């Protein structure tokens, strides 16, 4: 694409020299290490380094133009285009470069502290059952139809997002569901995405390393709703799908000028679960919606998953999927990678791997297990390094409150001392709360819990779910809770 053409996506800019009509842009890059000949390099000020410091490297690698927001020294032959905000410019340029791909597909965004990944996978199953071609973007991976692509972030930056949506369109995807993290909303990674539907799951404590406080965290989440398609024609309805039972629902409803569809269990809502029956191996409820009601029997466990199913069903009916198809899909879903995933090697006790890494999700998972367990519950849990420190004591409190024994261990210590992270957790406990053991080495912690388990006990290994690594320092070492648990069960030898 011609540079002069691409720059039409920017409202105002200044250039160091007149833009030559012939300059062709072959690609856009934000990382100097990835620049290829003929690219446009956009300088982004990061949390760690400043992209403006890498212009020289970008030019050496063949960048033919630079977008910057602060004065840079430059090679006279390369035009520099100055804008007031390079992050916003990146989104606009990417949308233009990839020819506005989200205008060509139905796009559903999911935000909230817990449940996003689960809901996007439920939606994928529903839309597949509806004979549509699907794309998924989120924590585990990106998926284009059945092809999985590895990603670094739950929500990629604006450039990689628009590129991914174009790839989806090239593969005839017509509906995409993506997790929209609060970090992404705060950093403008989803500027330029034309959401048709925005889902809110719930709000509870997490990420207070990044957000100043819970209000700031909620403000970031609300951006998905305030950015929801105000420029759309009336015949194309946009929906905000909101959990009525969550205290944040009132503010989020006010944040959007679009249609609102609420879902819930306790409070009166547009879409409701009635007659909920929770069992150890399945869940049943009646799904009541504005287009009718239908009985659902699902293999997902726990009330929190009823909420996830309500959210997914609500979005699906807004996208004209029939109740019959929603039922068929929800009932076919066996689970999501690393979420409440049983590890079964023929042993006579239960082992579950789950991704609970917040106080609220840990409480949900432990209270769900408590409902069915009649013998000992052991939880193996840690807290991530270089992440919200204030959730550590809260997670320890939840662990000792709902489990008979907690084994505190490491969960991606990153650049922190794992002993100190566990110390921060233990600080949350009083002298009467002694039902815990500290085993820093996660493998040994899992082995210990499994070794001690007796017939019908339940061991829940929380926090890492689908992850296949342990990040120590800046290095990622292969580690999979499910593999370690399976090995430990075999070594115990009662299966």
Ligand X SMILES: Nc1ncnc2c1ncn2[C@@H]1O[C@H](COP(=O)(O)OP(=O)(O)OP(=O)(O)O)[C@@H](O)[C@H]1O
Ligand Y SMILES: CC(=O)N[C@H]1[C@@H](OP(=O)(O)OP(=O)(O)OC[C@H]2O[C@@H](n3ccc(=O)[nH]c3=O)[C@H](O)[C@@H]2O)O[C@H](CO)[C@@H](O)[C@@H]1O[C@H](C)C(=O)N[C@@H](C)C(=O)N[C@H](CCC(=O)O)C(=O)O
Ligand Z SMILES: N[C@H](CCC[C@H](N)C(=O)O)C(=O)O
* Number of shown-chain residues binding ligand X (CB under 6 A): 22
Q: Backbone dihedral region of 111: left (phi > 0), alpha (psi from -120 to 50 degrees) or beta?
A: beta
Secondary structure of residue 178 in the 3-state scheme: strand
Which of Mg ion, ligand X, ligand Z, none does residue 354 bind (CB under 5 to 8 Å by kind)?
A: ligand X
Which of ligand X, Mg ion, ligand Y, none does residue 44 bind (CB under 5 to 8 Å by kind)?
A: ligand Y
Q: Which residues of 264-303 are buried (b: 16+ CB within 10 A; e: fewer)?
A: bbeeebbbbbeeeebeeeebebebbbeeeebebebebbbb
250 binds ligand Y (CB under 6 A): no
Nearer to ligand Y, 154 or 410 (CB): 154
150 binds ligand Y (CB under 6 A): no
359 binds ligand Z (CB under 6 A): no
In the complex, minimum distance from the CB of residue 357 to ligand Z, in angstroms, rounded to a whole number: 4
Other CB atoms within a 10 A radius of the CB of residue 441 amount to 13
Is 181 annotated as a binding-site member? yes
Question: Comparing C-alpha atoms, which of 482, 124, 130, 118 is closest to residue 335?
Answer: 118
155 binds ligand Z (CB under 6 A): no
User: Helical H runs in 322-390?
Assistant: 323-332, 359-372
Which range of residues in 44-52, 262-270, 279-287, 328-336 is near ligand Y by CB under 6 A?
44-52
In the complex, minimum distance from the CB of residue 183 to ligand Z, in angstroms, rounded to a whole number: 9
117 binds Mg ion (CB under 5 A): yes
Question: Comparing C-alpha atoms, which of 248, 269, 247 is closest to residue 260?
Answer: 269
Which secondary-structure segment (H or E) carries 342?
Answer: strand 341-342
* Number of shown-chain residues binding ligand Z (CB under 6 A): 9
Out of 227, 361, 410, 412, the only residue in the binding site for ligand X (CB under 6 A) is 361
463 binds ligand Z (CB under 6 A): yes
Torsion of CA 208, 383, 404, 245, to 10 degrees: 30
Residue number of the CB closest to Mg ion reads 139
Out of 46, 292, 342, 473, the only residue in the binding site for ligand Y (CB under 6 A) is 46
Q: Long-range CB contacts (< 8 A, 24+ apart) of 25-31? A: 25/1, 25/64, 25/65, 25/97, 28/90, 28/93, 28/94, 28/97, 28/159, 29/58, 29/63, 29/159, 30/90, 30/157, 30/159
Contacts to ligand Y from residues 158-187, by CB under 6 A: 181, 183-184
* Number of shown-chain residues binding ligand Y (CB under 6 A): 19
Which of ligand Z, Mg ion, ligand X, none does residue 307 bind (CB under 5 to 8 Å by kind)?
A: ligand X
Is 27 annotated as a binding-site member? no
Out of 193, 465, 485, 489, the only residue in the binding site for ligand X (CB under 6 A) is 465
- Output the CA torsion sign for 13, 17, 18, 19: negative
In the complex, minimum distance from the CB of residue 445 to ligand Y, in angstroms, rounded to a whole number: 23
339 binds ligand Z (CB under 6 A): no
Which range of residues in 31-39, 233-241, 307-315, 341-349 is near ligand Y by CB under 6 A?
31-39
- Output the CA torsion sign for 154, 158, 159, 163: positive
Nearer to ligand X, 82 or 355 (CB): 355
Is 115 annotated as a binding-site member? yes
411 binds ligand Z (CB under 6 A): yes
And the tokens for 103? 């205008």
Residue number of the CB closest to ligand Y reads 46
DSSP 206-235: --TTTSSSHHHHHHHHHHHHHTS-TTS-TT
DSSP 99-124: T-GGGGSEEEEEESSSSHHHHHHHHH
Secondary structure of residue 494 in the 3-state scheme: coil
Which range of residues in 47-55, 283-291, 361-369, 375-383 is near ligand Y by CB under 6 A?
47-55
Nearer to ligand Z, 229 or 463 (CB): 463
In the complex, minimum distance from the CB of residue 358 to Mg ion, in angstroms, rounded to a whole number: 11
In the complex, minimum distance from the CB of residue 179 to ligand X, in angstroms, rounded to a whole number: 6
354 binds ligand X (CB under 6 A): yes
What separation in angstroms does the CA of 206 have from each of 56, 116, 211, 215? 39, 14, 9, 12
And the tokens for 60? 């050496």
Out of 387, 391, 442, 482, the only residue in the binding site for ligand Z (CB under 6 A) is 387
What separation in angstroms does the CA of 133 have from each of 154, 171, 174, 262, 302? 21, 8, 6, 27, 29
- Cα–Cα distance measured from residue 254 to residue 333, given in angstroms and rounded to the nearest whole number: 34
Contacts to Mg ion from residues 130-149, by CB under 5 A: 139
Residues that bind ligand X (CB under 6 A): 114-118, 139, 154, 179, 201-202, 304, 307-308, 339, 354-356, 360-361, 364-365, 465
Residues that bind ligand Z (CB under 6 A): 154, 357, 384, 387, 411-412, 463-464, 467
Show binding-site residues: 32, 112-118, 153-155, 181, 187, 189, 387, 411-414, 463, 467
Show binding-site residues for ATP: 112-118
């Amino acid at each position: 694409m011609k540079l002069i053409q691409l720059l039409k996506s920017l409202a105002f800019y200044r250039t160091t020299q007149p833009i030559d009509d012939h300059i062709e842009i072959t690609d856009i890059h934000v990382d100097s290490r990835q620049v290829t000949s003929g690219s446009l390099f956009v300088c982004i000020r990061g949390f760690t380094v400043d992209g403006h410091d890498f212009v020289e490297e970008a030019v050496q690698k063949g960048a033919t133009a630079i977008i910057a927001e602060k004065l840079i020294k430059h090679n006279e032959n390369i035009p520099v285009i100055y804008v007031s905000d390079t992050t916003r410019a990146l989104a606009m340029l990417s949308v233009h470069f990839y020819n506005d791909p989200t205008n060509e597909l139905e796009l559903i965004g999911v935000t909230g502290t817990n449940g996003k990944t689960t809901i996007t996978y439920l939606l994928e199953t529903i839309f597949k059952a509806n004979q549509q071609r699907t794309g998924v973007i989120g924590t585990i991976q990106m998926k284009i139809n059945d092809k999985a692509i590895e990603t670094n972030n739950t929500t990629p930056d604006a450039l990689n997002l628009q590129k991914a949506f174009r790839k989806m369109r090239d593969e005839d995807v017509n509906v995409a569901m993506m997790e929209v993290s609060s970090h992404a909303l705060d950093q403008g990674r989803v500027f330029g995405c034309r959401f048709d539907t925005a889902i809110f799951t719930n709000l509870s404590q997490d990420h207070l390393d990044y957000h100043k406080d819970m209000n700031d965290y909620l403000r970031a989440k609300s951006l998905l709703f305030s950015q929801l398609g105000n420029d759309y024609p009336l015949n194309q309805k946009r929906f905000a799908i909101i959990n009525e039972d969550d205290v944040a629902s009132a503010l989020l409803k006010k944040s959007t000028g679009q249609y609102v569809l609420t879902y819930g269990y306790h409070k009166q809502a547009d879409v409701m679960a009635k007659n909920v029956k929770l069992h150890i191996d399945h869940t049943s409820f009646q799904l009541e919606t504005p287009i009718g009601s239908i009985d659902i029997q699902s293999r997902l466990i726990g009330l929190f998953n009823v909420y996830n199913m309500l959210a997914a069903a609500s979005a699906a009916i807004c996208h004209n999927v029939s109740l019959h198809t929603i039922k068929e899909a929800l009932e076919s879903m066996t689970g999501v990678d690393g979420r409440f995933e049983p590890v079964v090697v023929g042993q006579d006790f239960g082992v579950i791997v789950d991704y609970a890494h917040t106080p609220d999700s840990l409480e949900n998972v432990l209270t769900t297990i408590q409902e069915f367990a009649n013998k000992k519950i052991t939880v193996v849990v840690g807290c991530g390094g270089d992440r919200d420190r204030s959730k550590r004591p809260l997670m320890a409190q939840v662990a000792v409150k709902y489990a008979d024994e907690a084994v505190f261990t490491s969960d991606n210590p990153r650049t922190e001392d794992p002993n100190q992270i566990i110390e921060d957790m233990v600080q949350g406990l009083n002298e009467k709360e002694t039902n815990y053991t500290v085993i820093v080495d996660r493998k040994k912690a899992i082995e210990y819990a499994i070794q001690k388990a007796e017939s019908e006990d339940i061991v829940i290994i929380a926090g890492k779910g689908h992850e296949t690594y342990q990040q120590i320092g800046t290095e990622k070492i292969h580690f999979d809770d499910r593999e370690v648990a399976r090995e430990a069960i075999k070594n115990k030898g009662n299966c």
